[in-house]
């Protein structure tokens, strides 16, 4: 009892790397899961890794790649991006403190084969910076929009761009931000139709959802 | 026991009409308060009046004026607007359902002598409509911004206009809007500095606050 | 002040009918909006219409179509479904009381040109009924999953189907269901990656999001 | 003032070991309680013990047994399991991080004389793993189902197995999981009738309840 | 689309009548479900039926039995109680306003074949009344304890009786009772180990759970 | 099953009239309780009575007294006030809409034999009115302070008067008042030591508590 | 700016020691306040003192007395208890972890001159222990009842004792206990009339309130 | 990706220093932002700086000024206060623990050119201290009122002073204070019209809003 039973078949079948959420797991539990995946020739991402977990795992898996801002440790090889120059995912984020979540989404989507364009620091307080980059943002097939505090950015972008839009509330803020709950509820309550939302700080989930939608366009 | 004791001196001293919140009060209680104010030569506003209260009070006070969209019944005369052509208050609101709250703010401020310009239906889903009217909005000394649902409009306007800005969350929306609590928390959590907020649907409070700030500019 | 300013250009540009949320609006406000859309040759949906609004609007717009279970009144013509026999949207719902929300999503998506397959009454309490229909459900490009109470259905389906999946919590339930908030939070917290969520009872929003994703596959 | 007054009679009478919840108690308080129980020839479990409490108590009570994953320190002897080969309690848990709570329930029930079968890592995201083991799970008299995040597992199992089912929400998850409150509310709101729920992370309570129900079958 | 798909096999297999939750369903939907059950020779309970639903259904199903205090309409025949004179379920409730929920639990359990003893009006404010009847209460195999407001009764009884105990919080109370949420949280937080809890006002769920546990003793 | 079992002994013993909370009870249930009390020569108060309950009960009990603002119907005779001219309870309330709760407290305390002085409409917005009456307020042995909205009045009075002070939050207000929860939490969080609080709108509870404290002084 | 301005007159006038809440204050701020009080010959209590604050303050004020379990540091002399052998305050607490709050109440009341009898470890899970000591508990003029988790003890005691009763919820518990909020709401919702409640863990407030009520009896 | 893109134009245009919220940002991110501002000749404030960030930044920017109580590090020069002897902002705060938030507001407003008068330790528990200083407080154009716990001070002051009043709830308090949420909701619910509120502990936001309003009077 205690090992992580991996669903290897499924991951291989659909090109999604196995993703292990590190908090609350011991290094031993994570390591055992990673070994099982390596035996199966299957890529794996460990998310929300903390410095001490990272150090221990890098020692055990020297070939692992670490994405420090995204707090991800990756093993194996992701699906190669299928195309060149067109489409993909635009990830727009509001503030400097939202970057780790945006990067988590980006790295996850890239490991699933998507091309990702990053648009950091485009919060609604500086609307001209956002509108200036609108044409670039629109070149994607899917949008991920990351914001904390009042979570207004998805509503603003959703009114400007007619693409599938996944909103990611973050726990950035204090007081009435209620550790991201306010942004989550605000994104849910958006006056713009067609926005969908993932859990607070859930960059991985947004990356997976966007990569799946993106493939629809690629495969067609 | 039971009568509304009015603070007539104070109202006369500062040109604020006495404002009676109708819900939960009997027609008799409201009527007694209005008579006391009439005796004192003091204007009065009854807010959130419902149709049956309105009918009974209009019968008793035929000279009362009713503002149906604002749900206000007014008796006496407000402070005349001091100036012409400049300054005053811009009231920007997001959706059609936010209009009663916006009108409540407008009528209250006008009775306190402020000139009010109304900018309805400028929600963040149609940003070009908002930016098109930005120069007019900016002509005021103070902004009142009324929005329900995700409550993003004050953040967007607050990033575009450097004026005192009072945000009014409304109970418009459903589900995750939590009857206005989400908009209230979102406005509180705004990434734009300098926004202040009043209670959900509190058009009267926003009108009083804005009129006071507006006078600062007028008197100076 | 008070009219609904429509964003006609945008709707025409992207084949999304204008959607008017009826609660809190007067029949006059809704009617004025519908007339503006008719003048512009633009289709429109009125959602969450109640019986008295419906009666008044049908009298004024005899050519309007009413979808009673979806509580939608539609005027004009939607975008024709582009394809035949393949793809489209599967809408899976948990219980009988979730059907109005599922139908709202279905009618909205159909007016945006999507083919929709409906899978009602497949709650997790009767898992064998769900698995029996899994192959049909999987034929779509996108899934909409509608459930109230504990909101477990999207997690179960998300583990079985590798498609973009939009979860719709409903206000079905009582007590600890907190009028849909529990289902919303549960769907947000799903152990299955890649699920995205819309507001409680927001069939229209899910329909718009799914139709946009569906087009990605169609256009490609 | 300050000592833990033990209810020795009751425990002896019904074969329930005295259970001491360690957090917020000093080592002295716990030790005094354990001594009183030893004098009375009564078994005792200390739950949620942290490493420093454990070290101090093991030094004082070298004969104590520690169950590290369950975070339980036990003194004395539990009630021997009455039967062989049949019945007992099946404990099904969703993810690796739910194991400490599942183990807490298992050890508690075992000390009360129940035979316990463990079924870890059977979350709803991998439904085939769950259904593959259904026949084994069903061999019990009572089910304990442990899950965090969206807490869907009890609903799924409750639809498949007609046994008394005790659901244990865990604090596993982040953001919208609200430290287990979401799983608790979801389990409460289950569309499957007959599920009962204990407090978040309350493995001990689930173990006691299940052992009591299990005895009903044994004694009959 | 729209009919209630019944899981007839399962109900027949385990002697649980099909239970239909009436709120939010049309009389047509309920009637169709009842007809399907009658065709299958299967008993059915309709719970939380309101007076207008009751009248319409009694007209269509004259043989249906109505339990007014329990707000249940029943069709067909329940499982006969297996035993005589001993065992069964004790249902203890706190106040007069908790009786409908207690009766809902009682009728449900009786239709599943359990003998039920009722102990109304034994709230903790009058402890002597409770202790006077303790010996009778203890004669059961399982306890259902129904209480609103502060929900203290299960803790008090749980300290006095060593039986499986299912607590049912009710929405009785006002203000800080938060429509039953306080009682639910209090029962969850009980200092007495082994109490399990169902949803607010969920008499049906408690009845099903208790009847299942009761059978364990009967069958053994 | 269903009758209200009265605890007559206790009431007689301590001079507290039996108090029946009317909401959620049928006229028959209330009437049966009142008859039992009449037989026992015991006074009774029915609180929160609505107009239709009142009419039916007055027809059955013509000798009953109704206190319309307090929403209380009383039968029998209360304990006579022991003293004259000094001491007793001061009940201070903030606004006109708080009067029904203040009166509920006053009538309850008077039926328990306390002399009550009423101080209505002394909200913190008009502090000079409050301070003007401070000497009268201070003549009591106990204070009851009734306020809704932000619930600031108990803190202000508690800083001015060194008497036992019972705060009663009311559900007066809207939006962020959260139906009295904000006032309740605010009174709980008071910076003034020694304030104790009862449930929202719980005038009866405050009256009972204050009358008990008042007796301490009288009896001594 | 920054010093604590003491209200020395008031304290002297009414025999309440100045009470300083230590958390969030620097040792310098606390020390300055204590010096001012010493200069005025006024006793002072510092509550919720942590070990490092305690050490620094004891060095500066060697004559200060520390009550470790109550987490109080006291300087000066309290009011002497007026009487002998009779009356005073009974402090009943539920569990071992509630003792620090109970002691905080006890020490505070004693410094205000009250005689205090302590009744620890009388939680509702062991009702016979509580009833065995009921006669002693009843000898007081006022009751303080301290409990965490489900907070049922005040309801149980309130049904057995006709004295003023102040309930103190504590943050003891986990999960659904919500750090004391559940106990607070439960105590507020008590089915027993006349219970009043103070903030979570607010032993000081309960002590002050009880001592004031106690004096009423002493002085009379 | 990762740098803080500054909106230098805007700051220069309106005399607002760029304000960087330090929590959640690395020293590198803050330092990069400060360098950009220095290059642009633009003043900057870093708020909520912790000791380790402060030390690192002071080493890199030796000319920076630190305001320890306000937890602000400032670089460059603020706008000089325009006037002398009249007007400006009065900042009233309730308790010693509210001082850091009050100072944050004060320093922010001073850097925007406002003259600020500080009125610490004027909580409602000592009303006479507040009223004694009322004439000084009233000399301002705008009021900032800072309070935690029950947040009553803005209501009390709002009833005494007819000036624009910005209320700042703080996280001071415990238990029912809910880390400032109670004060926030209470200030929102104030019975005094015209109060506006900022986020919990948001001294910077209050300072910016007040300085903007103050300028209205200065410029006019």
HEC sequence for E107-142: HHHHHCCCCEEEECCCCHHHHHHHHHCHHHHCCCCE
What is the per-residue pLDDT for D218?
74
Structure tokens at E54: 């009751």
F88 burial type by CB count under 10 A (0-12 exposed, 13-18 middle, 19+ buried) = buried
Question: Could you tell me if B112 lies within 8 Å of chain H, comparing CB atoms?
Answer: no
Which of chain F's residues have a Cβ under 8 Å away from the Cβ of G82? Answer: none
E62-113 per-position pLDDT tens digit? 999 999 999 999 998 776 665 544 579 999 999 999 999 999 999 999 999 8
Residues from chain H contacting residue F189 (CB–CB below 8 Å): 149-150, 173, 175-177, 182-183
Tokens in use for H7? Answer: 């909106």
CA distances from D37 to D4, D8, D11, D71, H186 (A): 11, 7, 10, 20, 50
Residues 6+ apart with CB under 8 A from F128: none
Say how far apart CA A113 and CA A47 lie, in whole Å. 18
B155, A124 contact by CB (below 8 A)? yes
Whether A115 has a pLDDT exceeding 60, the answer reads yes
Q: Closest chain F residue to H187 measured between Cα atoms?
A: F150
**Residues of G with CB below 8 A from E123's CB?**
191
Average pLDDT, chain E: 89
The pair of structure tokens assigned to F213 is: 């404290």
Q: Residue H4: which pLDDT band, with cuts at 50, 70 and 90?
A: very low
Lowest mean pLDDT among D74-78, D179-183, E26-30, H84-88: H84-88
Phi and psi, residue H153, nearest 5°: -60, -45
Minimal Cβ distance to D175: which of A4, A5, A180: A180
- The CA–CA distances, whole Å, from F167 to B93, F131, F164 equal 39, 18, 10
pLDDT at B84 over 50: no
Helix (H) or strand (E) holding B197: strand B195-197
Name the helix (H) or strand (E) containing D204.
helix D203-219
CA dist., res. D185 & res. D179, Å (int): 12
What whole-number distance in Å separates Cα of residue G119 and Cα of residue G125? 15
CB contact under 8 A, G193 and F19: yes
Q: Does an interface of 3+ CB pairs under 8 Å exist between H and G?
A: yes
* DSSP secondary structure of D83-103: -SSS--EEEEE-SGGGHHHHH
pLDDT of residue F48: 97
Decide if A194 and C209 are in contact by the 8 Å CB cutoff: yes
d(CA G142, CA G165): 6
**Taking the CA of residue F57 as centre, how many other CA atoms within 13 Å lie in the half-sphere pointing to its CB?**
30
Looking at residue G15, its pLDDT comes to 60
Other beta carbons within 10 angstroms of residue B27's beta carbon come to 16
Is the Cβ of C168 closer than 8 Å to some Cβ of chain A? no
By the CB < 8 Å criterion, does B91 face chain H?
no
Task: Search chain G and give the residue with CA nearest E151.
Answer: G186
pTM: 0.94
- The pLDDT, as a whole number, for residue F82 is 55
CB F148 within 8 A of CB F171: yes
Choose the weakest-confidence range: C11-25, C175-189, H68-82.
Answer: C11-25
User: Above pLDDT 70, what percent of chain H?
Assistant: 88
CA-to-CA dists, residue D106 to D11, D47, D79, E138, E195, angstroms: 19, 12, 14, 27, 17
Give me the mean pLDDT over the C97-119 stretch.
Answer: 95
Percent of chain C with pLDDT over 70: 88
Q: What is the mean pLDDT of residues F173-197?
A: 96
- Residue-averaged pLDDT of chain D: 89
Spatial contact of G2 and H95, defined as CB atoms under 8 Å apart:
no
In chain A, residues with a C-beta closer than 8 Å to the C-beta of B190 are: 149-150, 152
- Are F146 and F106 in contact by the 8 Å Cβ rule? The answer is no
3-state SS of D137-201 is: HCCCCEEEEEECCCCCHHHHHHCCCCCCEEEEECCCCCHHHHHHHHHHHHHHCCCCCCEEECCCC
Q: Note the Cα F90 to chain centre separation in Å.
A: 11
Check pLDDT > 70 for residue A86: no
Distance from CA of B141 to the nearest CA of A (A): 20
The answer to whether the CB atoms of G23 and H174 lie below 8 A apart is yes
Read off the pLDDT of residues D90-142 as tens digits, 9 standing for 90 and up: 999 999 999 999 999 999 999 998 999 999 999 999 898 999 999 999 999 99
Which of A10, A164, A204 is opposite residue C209, by nearest beta carbon? A164
Residue A171 contacts D where some CB pair is shorter than 8 Å: yes
- Between CA C193 and CA C202, with CA C199 as vertex, the angle to 5 degrees is 115
- Could you give the CA distance from residue B198 to residue B165 in angstroms, rounded to a whole number? 11
Whether pLDDT at C4 is above 50: no
Question: Do residues A186 and A217 touch, judged by C-beta distance below 8 A?
Answer: no
Q: What single-letter DSSP state applies at residue B57?
A: H
F29 touching G (Cβ < 8 Å)? no
Return d(Cα E62, Cα H62) in angstroms, integer.
Answer: 90
Q: How far is E193 from chain G (nearest CA, A)?
A: 9
Q: Name every chain B residue with its beta carbon within 8 A of the beta carbon of F150.
A: none
What does each of the 220 residues of chain G score in pLDDT, given as a tens digit? Answer: 334 444 545 554 456 778 999 998 999 999 999 998 888 888 889 999 999 999 999 999 999 999 999 999 999 877 666 554 457 999 999 999 999 999 999 999 999 989 999 999 999 998 989 999 999 999 999 999 999 999 999 999 999 998 999 999 999 999 999 999 999 999 999 999 999 999 999 999 999 999 999 988 776 5
Which of C95, C150, C191 minimises the CB distance to D187? C150
H65: β partners: H74
Q: Tokens for G24, please give them.
A: 């969030």
What is the C-alpha separation between G201 and F188, in angstroms, rounded?
A: 11
Q: Which residues contact A39 (CB under 8 A, 6 or more apart)?
A: none
* pLDDT of A66: 95
What is the 8-class DSSP label of residue H80? P
**Chain segment E123-177, per-residue pLDDT in tens:** 999 898 999 999 999 999 999 999 999 999 999 999 999 899 999 999 999 999 9
Predicted confidence at residue F220, as pLDDT, reads: 57
| CA distance linking residue B60 with residue D85, whole number of Å | 86
- Classify residue C40 by burial, with Cβ atoms within 10 Å: 0-12, 13-18, 19+: middle
Are A147 and A183 spatial neighbours (Cβ–Cβ below 8 Å)?
Answer: yes
Are H196 and H165 in contact by the 8 Å Cβ rule? The answer is: yes
Cβ(G202)–Cβ(F191) below 8 Å: no
Please answer whether residues E108 and E211 qualify as being in contact, where contact means their C-beta atoms are separated by less than 8 angstroms.
Answer: yes
Q: How far is Cα D147 from Cα D150, in angstroms, rounded to an integer?
A: 8
pLDDT digits (tens, 9 = 90+) for C170-210: 999 999 999 999 999 999 999 999 999 999 999 999 999 99
Rounded to whole angstroms, the Cα distance separating H4 from H30 reads 8
Phi, psi (5° rounding) for residue B75?
A: -135, 135
Q: How confident is the model at residue F83 (pLDDT cuts 50, 70, 90)?
A: low
If we measure between CA atoms, which residue out of G5, H189, E168 comes closest to residue B202?
H189
Tell me which of F92, F176, F181 to substitute to probe the interface with B (most B C-beta atoms closer than 10 Å).
F176
Q: What is the rounded CA–CA span in Å between residue H101 and residue D130? A: 54
Residue A92 confidence (pLDDT) above 90: yes
Query: Around Cβ B42, how many Cβ atoms within 10 Å?
Result: 20
- Letter string b/e over residues A17-35, b meaning 16 or more CB atoms within 10 A of that residue's CB: bbbbbbebbebebbbbbbe
Residue B67 has pLDDT above 50, yes or no: yes
CA distances from G130 to B10, B157, E87, E119 (A): 57, 63, 30, 24
CA distances G60 to B126, G3, G75, Å, are 65, 17, 12
**Residue of B152, B178, B188 with shortest CB distance to A185:** B178
CA separation for the pair G50, E113 (Å, rounded): 60
Q: Are B140 and B87 in contact (CB under 8 A)?
A: yes
Q: Angle, to 10 degrees, between the axis of helix C27-39 and the axis of helix C51-60?
A: 40
Q: Which residues of A135-151 are buried (b: 16+ CB within 10 A; e: fewer)?
A: eebeebbbbbbbbbbbb
CA F95 – CA H133 distance, rounded (Å):
27
Distance CA(C166)–CA(E168), nearest Å, equals 34
Other chains touching G, judged by 3 or more CB pairs under 8 Å: D, E, F, H
Q: Where are the beta strands (DSSP E) in G85-203?
A: 89-93, 116-119, 142-147, 165-169, 195-197
Rounded Cα distance between G157 and G179, Å, is 23
pLDDT score for G181? 98
Residue D3 has pLDDT above 50, yes or no: no
Q: How far away is chain E from the Cα of F138, in angstroms, using its nearest Cα? A: 29
Q: Are D166 and D190 in contact (CB under 8 A)?
A: no
E3 has a chain C CB within 8 A of its CB: yes
pLDDT at F4: 46
Q: Among residues of chain D, what percentage have pLDDT more than 90?
A: 76
Is D142 in contact with D164 (CB distance < 8 Å)?
yes
CB contact under 8 A, A118 and H1: yes
Query: What pLDDT shows up at residue B1?
Result: 31
Q: Cα–Cα distance between C141 and C137 in angstroms, integer?
A: 10
């Amino acid at each position: 009892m205690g090992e992580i039973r991996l669903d290897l078949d499924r991951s291989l079948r659909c090109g999604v790397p196995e993703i292990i959420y590190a908090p609350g797991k011991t290094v031993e539990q994570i390591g055992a899961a990673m070994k099982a995946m390596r035996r199966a020739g299957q890529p794996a991402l460990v998310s929300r890794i903390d410095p001490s977990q990272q150090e221990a795992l890098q020692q055990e898996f020297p070939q692992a790649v670490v994405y420090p801002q995204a707090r991800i440790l990756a093993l194996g090889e992701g699906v190669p991006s299928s195309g060149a120059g067109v489409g993909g995912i635009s990830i727009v984020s509001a503030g400097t403190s939202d970057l780790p979540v945006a990067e988590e989404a980006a790295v996850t989507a890239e490991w699933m084969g998507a091309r990702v364009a990053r648009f950091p620091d485009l919060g609604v307080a500086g609307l001209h910076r956002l509108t200036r980059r609108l044409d670039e943002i629109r070149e994607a097939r899917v949008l991920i929009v990351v914001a904390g505090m009042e979570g207004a950015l998805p509503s603003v972008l959703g009114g400007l761009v007619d693409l599938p839009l996944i909103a990611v509330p973050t726990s950035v803020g204090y007081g009435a931000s209620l550790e991201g709950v306010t942004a989550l509820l605000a994104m849910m309550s958006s006056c713009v139709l067609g926005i969908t939302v993932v859990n607070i700080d859930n960059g991985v989930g947004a990356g997976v959802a966007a990569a799946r939608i993106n493939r629809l366009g690629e495969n067609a």
